[in-house]
Amino acid sequence: MNGSAVADFPSTAELVEGIQNADRARMGQAISLVESELPLHRKQAEALLKELGPAAGKSWRIGVTGVPGAGKSSFLEQLGLHITREREEKVAVLAIDPSSPISGGSILGDKTRMNDLARDPRAFIRPSPSGGTFGGVARRSQEIIRICEAAGFQYCFIETVGVGQSEDLVKKLSDVMILLMITGAGDQLQGIKRGIMEVADLVLVNKADGNNTVPAKKTLAELRQSAAMLPLPAHGRPVVSDTCTSLDQRDMPRIWTHLMDHFNSVVASGWLKENRDTQDRYWVRAQLNEWVQDELDHWLENDAEASSLLSSQSSKLPFSRSAELFRRYQRLRGTND
């Protein structure tokens, strides 16, 4: 782009039109726009999302988590193909990766393991960027989901990449969480007792095929015993568990029924709407926190008095220095706005 540091995007109207036609290239540009941290882009992103607003919010959002190698990508490929081919509906898959340096390698793997789905005209796959400490996809997932919804994708799957904090994030983006498990992982059952099941609405013991069919059923039975001792999830519906294989489509109609039963129940109880409102409040605060933090950092680095107080060699205690900085910052906020 003429060597300029600011990448230019098509006009908001062009992006809106492209998204409404589910044009992959335009969707990609719109996602890059909302991921951008430049203030100029933020303004355009705000305008774009406002335009998309009325059409957005109409998909089911489904989080998929599980230890590395549990088969999340393979499962999404099969369930995704079930939706696009059998049901003739549209599917978006996003990967969330808050710890990119560790799991960057699996991103490429994800691409290869969703080969057929990636080529399907009814599917849109957005892998997580492989750099950065808190990937753009994670930071702007809410907005990316809205772009997919405005493009008519009825189902947005969000795959966690890596373990740990990503479950929490994905839970805050999803209406329903699927936990994929595998046999022979005793520590996973320990994990269940410690609370990993608390994030899950549907638990599937994957790879229940060939020689592993019987062990998978045994794992399912153990899992049900453990689950029976756990408190009910917030929506009040007991966790559903089953086995499945992600080698092909054979189990997908059954899994689909589990999912739809869940949606019917949480829509009827009013929980889904309530949960989305709670999630929206969380994301508003998270976004605000991020901007205020950026502003504060900018001030600390660029205001001469602030940076000298920060790096003060004086005998003042850190607590007093922060208190003074905070008073100055408040004064600044009071006079500048």
- Considering only 63, 71, 127, 136, the residue that binds ligand GTP (CB under 6 A) is 71
Instruction: List Cβ neighbours of 258 (8 Å cut-off, separation of 6 or more).
Output: 202, 240, 242
Q: How far is the CB of 209 from ligand GTP (least distance, A)?
A: 5
- Considering only 100, 166, 245, 275, the residue that binds ligand GTP (CB under 6 A) is 245
Burial class of 40 by CB neighbour count within 10 A (0 to 12, 13 to 18, 19+): exposed
Distance CA 206, CA 75 (A): 8
Does 102 help bind ligand GTP (rule: CB under 6 A)? no
Tokens in use for 305? 């008095």
Does 126 help bind Mg ion (rule: CB under 5 A)? no
Instruction: List Cβ neighbours of 302 (8 Å cut-off, separation of 6 or more).
Output: none
Q: How far is the CB of 177 from ligand GTP (least distance, A)?
A: 15
Q: How far apart are the first and last CA of the chain?
A: 35
Does 300 help bind ligand GTP (rule: CB under 6 A)? no
DSSP 257-274: HHHHHHHHHHHHTTHHHH
Binding part of the chain for ligand GTP, among 53-61, 71-79, 253-261, 267-275 by CB under 6 A, reads 71-79
Distance CA 181, CA 215 (A): 12
Q: Which is nearer to ligand GTP, 72 or 82 (CB)?
A: 72
List strand residue ranges (DSSP E) for the chain, in order.
Answer: 60-65, 91-96, 123-126, 155-160, 176-181, 202-205, 240-243
DSSP 295-309: HHHHHHHH-HHHHHH
CA–chain centroid gap for 87, Å, is 24
- Considering only 51, 77, 97, 110, the residue that binds Mg ion (CB under 5 A) is 110
Q: How far is the CB of 174 from ligand GTP (least distance, A)?
A: 17
> Residue 275 binds which one of Mg ion, ligand GTP, none, with CB within 5 to 8 A depending on kind?
none
Q: Which is nearer to Mg ion, 59 or 166 (CB)?
A: 166
Does 97 help bind Mg ion (rule: CB under 5 A)? no
Q: How far is the CB of 105 from Mg ion (least distance, A)?
A: 11
Query: Looking only at residues 159 through 188 of this chain, which bind ligand GTP when binding is defined by CB under 6 A?
Result: 161
Three-state DSSP class for residue 63:
strand
Does 128 help bind Mg ion (rule: CB under 5 A)? no
Does 247 help bind ligand GTP (rule: CB under 6 A)? yes
How many residues belong to the site for ligand GTP (CB under 6 A)?
Answer: 19
- Considering only 113, 126, 140, 262, the residue that binds ligand GTP (CB under 6 A) is 113
Phi and psi, residue 64, nearest 5°: -130, 120
Distance CA 87, CA 256 (A): 10
**Residue number with the smallest Cβ distance to ligand GTP:** 71
CB atoms < 10 A from the CB of 249, how many?
A: 15
Does 72 help bind Mg ion (rule: CB under 5 A)? yes
Does 175 help bind Mg ion (rule: CB under 5 A)? no
Q: How far is the CB of 259 from ligand GTP (least distance, A)?
A: 17
Binding part of the chain for ligand GTP, among 145-153, 245-253, 278-286, 288-296 by CB under 6 A, reads 245-253
Phi and psi, residue 105, nearest 5°: -65, -30
Does 73 help bind Mg ion (rule: CB under 5 A)? yes
Positions in the binding site for ligand GTP (CB under 6 A): 66, 68-74, 106, 109-110, 113, 161, 206-207, 209, 245-247
Positions in the binding site for Mg ion (CB under 5 A): 72-73, 110
